[in-house]
Amino acid sequence: MIKKTFPIVGMHCASCKTLIEDVVGELTGVKNVMVNFATEKITVEYDEDKVNIEKLKKAVASAGTYQMVYTPSGTTVLASPPEVEKMSMEHHNMHHDEENSDQHDHGIPLDEKLRNELYNNLKRRVTLMGLGAIPFLIYMFWMAFGMKFGLPELSKILPNVNFLQFLLATPILFIGGKDVFVSAWTAAKIKASNMDTLIALGTGTAWAYSTIVTFFPQTFSTTLEAGGEVYFEASVFIIFFILLGRLLEMRAKGQAAQAIKALLHLQAKEAIVIRKGKEIRIPVEFVMVGDTVVVKPGQKFPVDGTIVEGSTEIDESMVTGESIPVYKQKGDAVIGATINKSGFIKYRATKVGADTLLSQIIRMVEEAQATEAPIQRLADRVSSVFVPAVIIIATLAFAFWFTTSIPFATYIAITVLIIACPCALGLATPTAVLVGTGKAARHGILIKDAEALEIAHKINVIVFDKTGTLTKGKPEVVDYEPRDKTISSLLYSIERRSHHPLAEAVVSYFEDSTSLTPSSRRESRGGVKELEVSSFKDHPGLGIEAKINNKHILVGTEKFLRENEINISGDFDKKINDLRHSGKTVSLVVVDKAVLAVVGIADTVKEDAKETLSKLHDMGIKTMMITGDNKITAQAVAQELGIDEVLAEVMPADKSKKIKELQNIRHSELVSESKRSRNEFGMTFSNKRQIVAMVGDGINDAPALAQADVGIAMGTGTDVAIATGDIVLVKGTLEKVVQTIKLSRQTLAIIKQNLFWAFGYNIIGIPIAAGLLYPGFGLLLSPIIASVAMALSSVSVVGNSLRLKYQ
């Protein structure tokens, strides 16, 4: 089984989604198929031995007026309406040599180009239809207000006014709205229905009835009212407003999908590489792994790599969401699409093309946007039976009002068919997910699927791994007490010979890493100098031994000192005990049998850790820490950060078991404080299964991240754990955990608003259109007003989703 996602061009209703899913899903060898209406993509999981691309193409084509355009590179299956077919054929003829590429016309994806052409084509048609509708607008105003302004009756000036309306309305309806009727007919041939079925029935009925009245006025003579009323203007305005709504919807959906386009535009178009000793400028697609790339101040890094010459500050905000430039020097990794702010850099390309971080981010966001949130399933079930249900309601309404008058019954049936709109239901969730995941990506938060985005709003416990997540993952000197200044130079000189992490922490303590260069290391913090070491010996797990200026020096643990029969001075006892009880690692410095310094080393907490945990508490979320460290060290960190509960001395393999245990605890058992029962968002938690999130490094914590309801992987630079966790934070800042949960809650609020409007619109609109309020209140909807409401219902849902961008 393989799983592929392909773009779709020309989808215009939620019923199209259901129709394509049903037809493709019936193919032998297709295990699963999902169409996302908002992103216009189809994801198919299928067996290549039983079904191939050609069969998929035929299946999509049989679902309606769709044509599949496929490129052998395996990323593009296009389902396009009739006007796109011609365009795609022109593409095939003009770019025959490029048919194996998804990029055409200087990097514009083929599906995007066809989508733009479809939009422009629809814009032209809507403009022409609008001009053609002007006479009908004049006619409507004349009929409604002519008498008030003293105008003569129109029938006296134009005795054949109905015939003139017929001549104007027919081409507008059947040429301008051709796609609607072709789509409805094609669906009918396979015994299916879609949104176009309702529109075609409604406008077609209005036109057919009006045509009969025009040419055979006696047909309904026994029931005619007002001398033979016709609905040509209704059919014209209905098709006009519906296509105008689709145009606005396409534009709004395009705005909602700006995140992917923005990411694509971040990529540098060219690169300067050194080949055969010369600098040459080439398209970024031709950069190869191992190339030496030159980047000057103000230019973008074209691909990922490692600096081999120079130093600079780099703006990584477009990838990580962090606004402060990052200092990089030789040996540091750089990310493609980031901006070189100051220095002249040469670097070796390590990842190119689809392997770069930016490409991974784009791929991940696209995949997330193509998924469905669980909350969408109800809307999908309703959409699948919506069109047949509306046809039945329209038929029943016609039958009910038939005894009153055929024109009136026809009027009611047309209004019911036109006002019904499954599109708002189909767009309610995916447009919000589209905007939400795009917004998250701009802030360096990669959400792998819509389900993770939805579940995140229900999180009530977050378990943090300690090392590298809450802490920096790198030991630092936090306390240093020497007897005199000369000890510092001795200690610094010895530790520089060792590669142990604790030794590196001591060296870093004495060096200012942002300004001290190798040539200036002779003078370090507090005037510390590097001295010549005459002998050096490492004792693994204990410490190091060396000689400087004939002085015998030991640096290490208390056990190391005892083995060397060193008596620890009583003056240091209190200091050592304080450090030990606060979870610090203690290192002692001995010179000629005398203890002359004590060093406290710890994995320090991240600067934003305490503030982040405080914000999570304010949101009603319980915080926990899981670690393999001893209880003393773990409790010291927890106390410093204000963590609610600690799980210490837990082996990596057991972390997932602990997560599972937490998931089985009822929320009321875990959070007893009444102040936690309601958070700043006004959300309350009932006595339900705990929703647990795990935050870890994405590598060592993989099983725990997988077990958690939401796994959040902390990425660092180019080593983002793309394959691990439901949510990946590109740069491991804890504040993004808070941002993720807030964004999830905002997105779910938008989705619920959209669904409320979409369901409410249809639940209220359809009965009113059927004449429910007419007997008691005389309230009746016009088919034209119904078409405006239907068109705006979809646009309003997309517009509401776009609010997420600015929250």
CB contact at 8 A, 771 and 397: yes
* Structure tokens given for 797: 């849902």
**Catalytic annotation, pick one of 291, 380, 449, 465:** 465
- Measured CA to CA, the distance from residue 293 to residue 288 in angstroms comes to 10
Amino acid at 642: G
CB contact at 8 A, 23 and 190: yes
* Structure tokens given for 665: 């605890």
Q: Is 465 labeled as catalytic in the residue annotation?
A: yes
Q: Edge-to-edge, what's the strand order for the sheet holding 326-328?
A: 326-328, 312-315, 339-340
Q: Are strands 461-465 and 692-696 parallel, antiparallel or unpaired?
A: parallel
Backbone angles phi, psi at 291, to 5 degrees: -65, 145
Residues 6+ apart with CB under 8 A from 726: 447, 448, 449, 451, 452, 705, 710, 711, 712
CB contact at 8 A, 723 and 493: no
Q: 46 - beta bridge partners?
A: 2, 30
- Measured CA to CA, the distance from residue 294 to residue 309 in angstroms comes to 10
* Structure tokens given for 181: 């009727």
CB contact at 8 A, 288 and 349: yes
What are the DSSP E strand ranges found in 21-67?
30-36, 41-46
- Measured CA to CA, the distance from residue 260 to residue 36 in angstroms comes to 16
From the list 552, 629, 559, the residue with the least C-alpha distance to 587 is: 559
- Measured CA to CA, the distance from residue 117 to residue 705 in angstroms comes to 44
Task: Return the sign of the alpha-carbon dihedral for residues 83, 86, 92, 93.
Answer: negative
* Structure tokens given for 250: 């396409």
- Measured CA to CA, the distance from residue 377 to residue 385 in angstroms comes to 13
CB contact at 8 A, 453 and 437: yes
CA angle 495, 500, 505 (to 5 degrees): 65
- Measured CA to CA, the distance from residue 470 to residue 204 in angstroms comes to 65
CB contact at 8 A, 609 and 638: no
Amino acid at 497: R
Q: Coil, helix or strand for 300?
A: strand
Q: Edge-to-edge, what's the strand order for the sheet holding 692-696?
A: 445-447, 727-729, 710-714, 692-696, 461-465, 622-626, 645-647
* Structure tokens given for 277: 């000793």
* Structure tokens given for 49: 């031995």
Q: 304 - beta bridge partners?
A: 351
Q: Are strands 292-295 and 345-351 parallel, antiparallel or unpaired?
A: antiparallel
Q: What does the DSSP 8-state code read for residue 543?
A: E
Q: What does the DSSP 8-state code read for residue 173?
A: I
- Measured CA to CA, the distance from residue 592 to residue 636 in angstroms comes to 34
Amino acid at 592: D
Taking the CA of residue 430 as centre, how many other CA atoms within 13 Å lie in the half-sphere pointing to its CB? 28
Residues belonging to the active site: 465
